[in-house]
Structure 1
Amino acid sequence: MFGGLTGLTDSKGTDWGEKMLNTVASQTIRHLFTQSESVEVLVRCHPSSKLLQGSIDSFKMNGSGLVIRRDFAVEEMSFETDAVAIDFGAVLGGKLNLKQPTQAIAQVILSETGINQAFKAELVKKRLVNLSVPALTALSGGQPVSFTDVQVQLLPGNRLHLAAKADLNNGELIPLSMTLTVAVERRRRISFKDPKIELDAVPEAQREISQTLSMALAEILDNMVDLDRFDLDGVKMRLNRLETEGKKLIFSGYAEIERIPHSS
């Protein structure tokens, strides 16, 4: 059986062991996502006999149209490892298990549409609604304040425009508008810095409170996006850089993979 797995090749020269491993890996990775349009995995192992010892040369994954935790859309995700040790016995059972932790270079591309959808996710909304922070409730007569209708537009130069409304829970909605710079901090946080408040479209009677609430929202966002909160079990993402490109936000970094999780 093992000889058949590591000695046979198809018409394209693909080793049957590699082919089986690619199939198992594709199924495993696909199950990490709530939804996926495509997930392609390419595992290389030469000579093929190394597979019996669980040693492979590289592991590449490219995915598109991905959804993480039901609400977070990723337009594209890719990662590639160097040599890695796996449990070959688990592969025969249809699972992919690492013998030791590994790292992979990674790239994640978010679309402007996907970012706006994320602001509607419960995990995000609960950090923006019914806030009883004294600095905010002082503006609303002691009532909780909510930030709603958040809309993001990506801009060149790692900047974005953000529009929202502040609900003071007293029947008054305050329009908010600003541009911010997005950057990576400590390889795991997305910072929202240098807010430039825009008041031209805000009624004059609301401009002062709009300024104050916009600064408060910018501070909330700056402390909200920590990748450790979104890690898959056994996988930690670390970022080196990000850039805006048209309607896309592109992250480059690496993944610390302790084990391959089997569900999202």
Structure 2
Amino acid sequence: MTQDNPDLGEKALSKVAEVGISSQLDEAENIDVDIRTDPGKLLQGQVDSVEISGKGLVMKQDLRVETLEVSTSKVAINPLSAVLGNIELTRPTDAEAQIVLTESDLNRAFNSDYIQSKMQGLEMQMEGKPVTVDVQQAVINLPGNNQFVIAADFRLRERGEVKKLSATAIPKIEENGHRISLEILSAEGQGLTTELVTAIFEQLTNLLDLRNFNIPGISLRIRQLDAQKAKLVIQAATQIEQIPSA
């Protein structure tokens, strides 16, 4: 039904979708799916709208999303499957999505074992000599004005020295909206090299590959992004080929 109170069929399908999406995540504080239609349309395989909202969703590489909102208009589904309590799309549907990541979310992922392993044993030139660098700690700050600031401590293995660097960058949309790159505006530090700054930002941009956010059957493409104070807001076009089942 399209009024404010969903009927039992809508509730059942919504619950199936919630369970299916939750099964594809490592963790979820909350997932809510609201499917709206009426019994007559449902028998014809028509759904008026689907809205998905989530909070505290943990995806691969320990990437946590503070909030995720996805909304569609009409969706075509297999009516027989719907009667049996399943959701099977008969054709892909377009939707709009908004993803919000906080500074804490970014730092959690950036300092995860997976990303940290990528920042150990970096080989480069420093003062004309080959060195091996281990990034010991990196902190991401979002000060607003569409900027990223990274402060990092790194260790030179050969010298046993620990040095610091900081760099500021602005995010840009690349690869047809699938990836966020970071353009370095400024950098400063001890024993700083372009290679080192680039290596650190490369791992951050790998983390911000939007394909890391994809739930099976649901793909995202960035339309707009805004690095606000303490949070990153991503607006994306979404294509839903299938709503995951448990």
Q: TM-score, normalised by structure 2?
A: 0.86
1:160 is the counterpart of 2:148:
yes
Is the Cα contact below 8 Å between 2:155 and 2:162 reproduced in 1?
yes
Task: Give 2:46's aligned residue.
Answer: 55
For 2:118, the aligned partner's letter is R
Question: Of residues 103, 107, 113 in structure 1, which corresponds to 2:98?
Answer: 107
Query: If you compute each CA radius of gyration, which structure gives the higher value, 1 or 2?
Result: 1
Residue 216 (structure 1) aligns with: 198
* Counterpart contact for 1:195–1:218, Cα < 8 Å: no
Rounded to whole Å, the distance in 2 between the matches of 1:159 and 1:87 is 45
> Which fold has the larger relative contact order, with Cα–Cα distance below 8 Å and residues 6 or more apart in sequence?
2
C-alpha distance in 2, partners of 1:223/1:63?
24
Offset at residue 163 of structure 1 (A): 0.5
Q: Distance in 2 between matches of 1:67 and 1:14?
A: 29
Distance 2:205 2:105 in 1: 20
Amino acid at match of 1:30: S
- Matched with 2:163 is 174
Deviates more, 1:171-180 or 1:149-158: 171-180
Mapped pair 1:231 → 2:214: yes
- 1:97 equivalent in structure 2: 88
Deviations along 1:93-143, one digit per CA (max 9) or x if unpaired, are 4433221111210000001101000012244233322234xxx15669545
2:244 and 2:33 mapped to 1: Cα distance? 16
* Aligned pair partner of 1:149 in 137, 144, 148: 137
Name the count of aligned residue pairs.
243
Counterpart-to-counterpart distance in 1, 2:204 and 2:56: 27
TM-score between the two structures when normalised by the length of structure 1: 0.81
What residue ranges of structure 2 are gaps of 5+ in the alignment?
none
**Structure 1: gaps (5+ residues):** 1-5, 200-206
CA displacement at 1:187 relative to structure 2? 0.9
Q: CA deviation at 1:57?
A: 0.9
Q: Is the 8 A contact 1:163 1:175 kept in 2?
A: yes
Taking the TM superposition and a 5 Å limit, the aligned residue runs for 1:193-208 are: 193-199=183-189, 207=190
Shift of 1:222: 6.9
CA RMSD of aligned residues (A): 2.7
After TM superposition, where is structure 1 displaced by more than 4 Å over at least 4 residues in a row?
Answer: 137-143
- Cα distance 1:107–1:174, how it changes in 2: closer, same or farther (>3 A)? same
1:176 counterpart SS class:
strand
1:34 aligns with 2:23: no
CA–CA separation in structure 1 for the residues paired with 2:128 and 2:156: 5
